[in-house]
């Protein structure tokens, strides 16, 4: 039969002369009140020795204390504390759940924003890619090593030193198994072609246009892309004079061809390099002759 609520109080007695202990335990059922009393006198009598009786009294005292109002009071306090603790735990879990939900929403919003931004920029790049690219201007100063294939089927190396601020363009040609030829071009239209040594010679020529401007490819016609020397390049053509190949990714020149069949492959390209002025000084025998027009 289910027990509804326990009722406790001063419900035990002890006869110190006889040593007998009497204990009454009362309960109420859920279906109406009626009282059941248990006498534990036989419980104590079952222990004959003093040691056994001592343990019996200790156990009996324990049972009595668990039925006392004080114990019942602390048990109710414990239940209230447990319920309040459970409430706090639930509230903390709810707060953590809301925090997790907020962080998830924030991450999702950030992810969607990044995706939107990526799609936007990809669309912009796609829009820009529909228009023809333009060649990058030359750096104001650079050094390039060129491998040149001449229209005469001869080969040569060229050290190209471009220096727009100083107004000069220097080509130092190493002929295949031959001499070194210096080509010093100035922006005033004067060009010196000379070799050095015991059999050194010099030729002075004049070009009104001076050295190429760093943006000389402006207005070139775009021909599309082409793979040359293993590089994917954009290709332009300027007034049927030069065909210029530029790396699609690095924007560095890879090759250029002239109308007369001379082709130059760029082996190295060093931006900002400057040739010392002492190297560009033409020898004295270049100034003992008239300049050819």
Q: Which residue bears the tokens 């114990």?
A: 71
* Model pLDDT, residue 198: 84
Helix (H), strand (E) at residue 221: strand 221-228
Q: How many CB atoms lie within 10 A of CB 133?
A: 14
* Model pLDDT, residue 55: 62
Q: How many CB atoms lie within 10 A of CB 23?
A: 19
Are β-strands 155-163 and 168-175 bridged in parallel, bridged antiparallel, or unpaired? antiparallel
DSSP lists the bridge partners of residue 191 as: 185, 205
Residues in the chain with pLDDT < 70? 1-91, 93, 115-130, 289-293
Please write the tens of the pLDDT for every residue from 139-184: 999 999 999 998 777 899 999 999 999 999 999 999 888 889 999 9
* Model pLDDT, residue 6: 41
- pLDDT > 90: percent of the chain: 37
CA distance 269 to 204: 28
Instruction: Judge whether 23 and 36 are in contact, CB under 8 Å.
Output: no
Domain spans in the chain, listed from the N-terminal domain onward = 3-67, 141-287
* Model pLDDT, residue 186: 93
CA distance 108 to 80: 41
Torsion of CA 191, 237, 145, 252, to 10 degrees: 130
Torsion of CA 209, 214, 215, 221, to 10 degrees: 80
Q: Which CATH class is domain 141-287?
A: mainly beta
pTM score: 0.54
* Model pLDDT, residue 84: 64
């Amino acid at each position: 039969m289910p027990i509804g609520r326990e009722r406790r109080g001063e419900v035990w007695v002890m006869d110190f002369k006889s040593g007998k202990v009497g204990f009454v335990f009362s309960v109420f059922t859920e279906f109406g009140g009626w009282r059941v009393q248990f006498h534990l006198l036989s419980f104590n009598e079952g222990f004959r020795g003093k040691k056994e009786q001592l343990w019996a009294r200790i156990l009996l005292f324990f049972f009595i204390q668990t039925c006392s109002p004080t114990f019942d009071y602390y048990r109710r306090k414990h239940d209230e504390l447990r319920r309040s603790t459970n409430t706090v735990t639930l509230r903390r879990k709810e707060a953590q759940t809301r925090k997790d939900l907020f962080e998830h929403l924030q991450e999702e919003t950030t992810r969607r924003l990044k995706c939107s931004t990526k799609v936007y920029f990809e669309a912009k790049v796609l829009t820009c890619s529909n228009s023809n690219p333009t060649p990058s201007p030359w750096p104001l100063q650079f050094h390039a090593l060129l491998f040149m294939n001449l229209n005469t089927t001869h080969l040569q190396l060229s050290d190209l030193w471009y220096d727009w601020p100083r107004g000069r363009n220097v080509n130092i040609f190493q002929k295949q198994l031959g001499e070194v030829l210096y080509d010093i071009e100035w922006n005033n239209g004067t060009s010196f072609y000379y070799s050095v040594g015991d059999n050194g010679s010099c030729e002075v020529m004049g070009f009104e246009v001076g050295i190429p401007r760093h943006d000389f490819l402006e207005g070139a016609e775009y021909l599309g892309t082409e793979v040359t020397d293993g590089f994917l390049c954009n290709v332009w053509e300027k007034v049927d004079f030069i065909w210029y190949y530029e790396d699609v990714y690095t924007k560095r020149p890879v090759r250029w061809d002239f109308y007369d069949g001379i082709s130059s492959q760029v082996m190295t390209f060093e931006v900002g390099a400057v040739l010392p002025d002492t190297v560009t000084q033409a020898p004295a025998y270049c100034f003992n002759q008239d300049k050819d027009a």
